[in-house]
Amino acid sequence: MVPLISNSHTIFRLITAAHTIHTVYNTSIEYKEPQKMAKQVFFIAGASRGIGLSLATLLSKNPENVVIATARNPASASGLQELSKADNVHVVTLDLNNEKTYETAKADVLKISDSIDVFIVNAGISNAHAKVLDTTKEEFLSHFTTNTLGPFFLLQTFLGLVKKGTLKKVIFVSSAAGSVSVEPSYVSSAYGISKAALNYGARQIARDLSEENFIVVPVHPGLVGTDLLFNATEPFLKSNPHFKDFLGPENYLTPDQSAKGLVALIEKLKKEDSGKFWNYDGTEVPW
Ligand SMILES: NC(=O)c1ccc[n+]([C@@H]2O[C@H](COP(=O)([O-])OP(=O)(O)OC[C@H]3O[C@@H](n4cnc5c(N)ncnc54)[C@H](OP(=O)(O)O)[C@@H]3O)[C@@H](O)[C@H]2O)c1
């Protein structure tokens, strides 16, 4: 496959390339309609909306899949409520910023299954767009808490269930904004640093669990039209006016398009792919 990032200008290129969605999407993503296969249990943390809801929706189309989808506040997650009418979708309450909910979520999951085949941490925030030296401690800490520590402690809580799974796939939804080597051409300090730390930890976890046949990867979902992107646009453009032309709707994926790419990628992941940073279209992202 054609690498999405080829030189050091990159995030710019990464995003630009993500925008040539028709080309990239049609050539690179080999999503196939669900086929009958052994029952697989998917856990998705952060499925109330955006990419997480699209992942849950797509995965639930295979009746052999069991989809456990979390939300901080299920009652207000109308899309997920609707989806949970399907027999194979279960909604569990979880707040990454509240570790007490990890244990209650685990107890709820155990009522559904004692194993998880694919463990996806998709939840994340991006709401600070100042330069590093202008970012507050609170902004750094809130991003680090949700985007970095949340996924690690959540996996600690659920590790026993993933060990019992047949696939042992752990997917951290990260961002190319967390790539150090591609030197982002936009300001994304608190967010980017939290995702860089997530990537670092994911790589270490991949190594630490490799003898137990785990496949652990951070993934970039593309530039996707979600609340995270829309809510960030105005403050983001203040510090990144050169990005104005790139934030039009023609330049980003829909959540469903991103989910299709991610599901195809997750299905294809093999042991040798563990510990690498993957783009939604199946190409590798440089660290
Ligand atoms: N959109 C993009 O262009 C883009 C690009 C690169 C990476 N990503 C990554 O993709 C992932 C999904 O983002 P999205 O674009 O789909 O954003 P989104 O539409 O804003 O959805 C974010 C999800 O994260 C959940 N969440 C946030 N804080 C949480 C917490 N403390 N505990 C539990 N859940 C929490 C939200 O739940 P609530 O509904 O309860 O708030 C929601 O389900 C994130 O990790 C993001 O960093 C997105």
Does residue 117 have its Cβ closer than 6 Å to ligand 1?
Answer: no
- Mind listing the pLDDT tens digit for each residue in 11-35? 434 443 333 333 323 335 566 555 5
- Give the integer Cα–Cα distance in Å for 191 and 131: 11
74 Cα: distance to centroid of ligand 1 (angstroms):
15
254 Cα: distance to centroid of ligand 1 (angstroms):
14
Q: What pLDDT sits at residue 31?
A: 60
Give me the domains of the chain, ranges plus CATH numbers: 11-20+41-279 (3.40.50.720)
50 Cα: distance to centroid of ligand 1 (angstroms):
7
Strand order in the sheet with 65-71: 89-93, 65-71, 40-45, 118-121, 169-173, 215-220, 278-279
Q: What pLDDT sits at residue 155?
A: 98
Does residue 224 have its Cβ closer than 6 Å to ligand 1?
Answer: yes
210 Cα: distance to centroid of ligand 1 (angstroms):
28
Which of 72, 251, 253, 258, when mutated, tests ligand 1's pocket best, judged by the most ligand atoms within 8 Å of its CB? 72
Does residue 67 have its Cβ closer than 6 Å to ligand 1?
Answer: no
The amino acid that residue 66 corresponds to is V
Does residue 74 have its Cβ closer than 6 Å to ligand 1?
Answer: no
**Alpha carbon distances (Å) from 281 to 59, 92, 222, 285:** 17, 29, 8, 10
Low-confidence ranges of the chain (pLDDT < 70): 1-38, 183-184
Q: What pLDDT sits at residue 25?
A: 30
Does residue 221 have its Cβ closer than 6 Å to ligand 1?
Answer: yes
Q: What pLDDT sits at residue 79?
A: 97
Q: What pLDDT sits at residue 232?
A: 72
Q: What pLDDT sits at residue 39?
A: 87
A 10 A CB-CB count for 31 gives 16
